[in-house]
Amino acid sequence: MEGIWKKKDLLSLYDLSPEEITYILDTAEEFKKVSQRKVKKVPALRGKTVVNLFVEPSTRTRMSFELAEQRLSADIINISAETSSLKKGETLLDTAKNIEALQVDLIVIRHSAAGAPNFLAKRLKAGILNAGDGSHSHPTQALLDIFTIREKKGKIKGLNVSIVGDILHSRVARSNIWGLLKLGANVTIAGPSTLVPREFTQIGVRVCDNLRDALEGADVINLLRIQHERQQASYFPSISEYTNIFGLNKESMRYVKPDALIMHPGPINRGVELDSSIADGPQSVILEQVTNGLAIRMAALFLVAGCLKGRDTSQ
Ligand code: CP
């Protein structure tokens, strides 16, 4: 497995082999130990500069990337859309080229436009890490989800993983589906038929029309919020109807195995897709996902930075 990572960018799990995904997970296991030490810092990215370019809101991913960079001893610049010249009409490429002109090594980008990280990766020498692009991809979220499942269940292959909610608009769902299928899990998706594309059956995903079918037999249940900000139309009659039919609550928990993991990428709409008692209950691993996200992002930054060596900005 030594030296298996050869990519200067992390854009999507679709692009990765099962071996590359496993390599990131294994690397993250080592980095998780760093955060459990008294001194939570290593010099792995000392002398490297990372720009966090967030053109769409974020709490978890942004904090996690920034802390991961600090723990790796990188120099960090944070840019948000609201306070940058993007607001004055500068193009994303011009902004990124100005960033690169400062000999920046890595750019972590979140953008509402699907494909924005791929667009920059083709045009810049800096390594690009996708922190979420539109409804397309959120690779580090899926990696941290898969890491958490592997940590708790000891394997991925053969597990039944159900993803419930707004699949249509979810980059988290797409990234999880690719990663989990590559590692041999059985993936089920469920939600209102308007929000669950049937096309996923063509890649081996089971599509359920009702929550009970998705919950029974599941080893992992990953709940997604309804993404109003990406919806152009009304996909179901009302929030209360969604909650009644697809919400995970005390009643629907009757169908959930006692050892099933309850996951959510956040932010949670408490009382909509998930009751507070379950979000905070014994089967929930939601905050452990956040903890593991730090290790995954340390691993991703470290591996991608390692592939910039041949074309170091110092040369
Ligand atoms: N899970 C996730 O991407 O959360 P943020 O939007 O807060 O980063």
Closest-CA residue, ligand 1 atom 3, reads 61
The minimum-distance atom of ligand 1 relative to the CA of 64 is 8
Ligand 1: residue of 52, 53, 61, 225 to mutate (most ligand atoms within 8 A of CB) is 61
pLDDT for 312 equals: 47
- CA-based torsion, 25, 269, 201, 115: positive or negative: negative
Whether the CB of 17 sits within 6 Å of ligand 1: no
Measured in Å, residue 145 CA sits from the centre of ligand 1 at 13
Q: How many CB atoms lie within 10 A of CB 254?
A: 10
Exposure class string for 269-298: b at 16+ Cβ within 10 A, else e: beebbbbeebbeeeebbbebbbebbbbbbb
Number of H helices, E strands in the chain: 10, 9
Closest-CA residue, ligand 1 atom 4, reads 60
Q: How many CB atoms lie within 10 A of CB 1?
A: 9
pLDDT for 276 equals: 97
Ligand 1: residue of 137, 141, 171, 269 to mutate (most ligand atoms within 8 A of CB) is 141
pLDDT for 87 equals: 86
pLDDT for 127 equals: 97
Give tens-digit pLDDT for 253-274.
999 999 999 999 999 999 999 9
The minimum-distance atom of ligand 1 relative to the CA of 266 is 1
Whether the CB of 91 sits within 6 Å of ligand 1: no
Whole-angstrom distance, CA of residue 9 vs CA of residue 275: 37
Give the DSSP per-residue string, 8-39: S-B--GGG--HHHHHHHHHHHHHHHHHTTSSS
Measured in Å, residue 162 CA sits from the centre of ligand 1 at 20
In sequence order, which ranges of the chain are alpha helices (DSSP H)?
Answer: 18-34, 60-71, 92-100, 116-123, 139-153, 171-182, 211-215, 239-246, 276-279, 286-306
Closest-CA residue, ligand 1 atom 6, reads 58
pLDDT for 3 equals: 77
Measured in Å, residue 39 CA sits from the centre of ligand 1 at 27
pLDDT for 2 equals: 58
Measured in Å, residue 12 CA sits from the centre of ligand 1 at 16
Give tens-digit pLDDT for 221-241.
999 998 766 665 577 878 888
pLDDT for 37 equals: 95
What lies within 8 Å, CB to CB, of 38 at 6+ separation is: none
Q: Decide: 165 and 180 in contact? Cβ < 8 Å.
A: no
Whether the CB of 265 sits within 6 Å of ligand 1: yes
Whether the CB of 179 sits within 6 Å of ligand 1: no
Whether the CB of 293 sits within 6 Å of ligand 1: no
The minimum-distance atom of ligand 1 relative to the CA of 61 is 8
Whether the CB of 60 sits within 6 Å of ligand 1: yes
Q: Write out the chain's pLDDT in tens, 315 residues.
A: 557 999 999 999 999 999 999 999 999 999 999 999 999 999 999 999 999 999 999 999 999 999 999 999 999 999 988 888 888 899 999 999 999 999 999 999 999 999 999 999 999 999 999 999 999 999 999 999 999 999 999 999 999 999 999 999 999 999 999 999 999 999 999 999 999 999 999 999 999 989 999 999 999 999 999 876 666 557 787 888 899 999 999 999 999 999 999 999 999 999 999 999 999 999 999 999 999 999 999 999 999 999 985 544 443
Whether the CB of 227 sits within 6 Å of ligand 1: no
Whether the CB of 192 sits within 6 Å of ligand 1: no
pLDDT for 82 equals: 84
Whether the CB of 276 sits within 6 Å of ligand 1: no
Give the tokens for residue 141. 């979220």
